[in-house]
Amino acid sequence: MQQTETDLDLINSVLAGNTGMYALLVKRHQRFVFTLALRFAKNREDAEEIAQDCFIKAYKALGTFKQTSKFSTWLYTITYTTAMTYLRKKKLDSTSIDNDEQVLQVANTDSSFDANTIEKKSTYKYLNEAIAMLLPDDAAIITLFYKGEQSLEEIGQALVMEPNTVKVKLHRARHRLKEKLQLLLKEEVKELI
């Protein structure tokens, strides 16, 4: 099958019996599912387990996907609920990412070196540190909106909230993220002086 096939084409192919096409769906969405799982898990191993569980659950429930929303929204809903369930079972404090370097590796898909690489890594470092300081719901909303490019309605579906509630939470999360970034950058300036 071609690269231009939509998620719905792949889903229909899987449901028609061509189960190998599911690997393409996984490949298409694995990076972001893993990044979202890292927002909740304290380490890479837990995030990998959460991501794997998500794709297994999605595969088993693929026949129930109603196609009224994007597949990614449906998958991120599974990711969110799987992460929350996993963390409750492990009784972890699900504050966010523990290792910024892991997110840099996931976020930086360009393997070639250019003049802006170091600056990009620095930006990701501070942004991810600030996101790590947020509450899990704030981190999820910021991640889904900016990295996942989900609409307010899609985030609402994924997190089981009304779109207006998501809008308010996103506004507040942005404000808290700004405060965390200012705190981090203030500390960075102190280190430079």
Residue 47 structural domain: 7-192
Q: Which amino acid is at 40?
A: F
Residue 165 or residue 3, greater confidence: 165
Q: What pLDDT does residue 106 have?
A: 45
Q: What pLDDT does residue 169 have?
A: 92
Mean pLDDT of 30-50: 87
Tally of helices (H runs) and strands (E runs) in the chain: 9, 0
Tokens representing 13 are 């192919």
**C-alpha–C-alpha distance, residues 45 and 37, integer Å:** 10
Structural domains of the chain, count: 1
Give the pTM.
0.61
Mean pLDDT of 31-59: 89
Residue 153 lies in a domain: yes
Among 90, 11, 8, CA closest to 43: 90
Query: CB neighbours (10 Å) of residue 139?
Result: 26
Q: What pLDDT does residue 181 have?
A: 84
Residue 67 lies in a domain: yes
Q: CB-based contacts of 19: which residues, under 8 Å, 6+ apart? A: none
CATH number at residue 73: 1.10.1740.10
Mean pLDDT of 108-132: 60
Residue 147 lies in a domain: yes
Residue 2 lies in a domain: no
Residue 1 lies in a domain: no
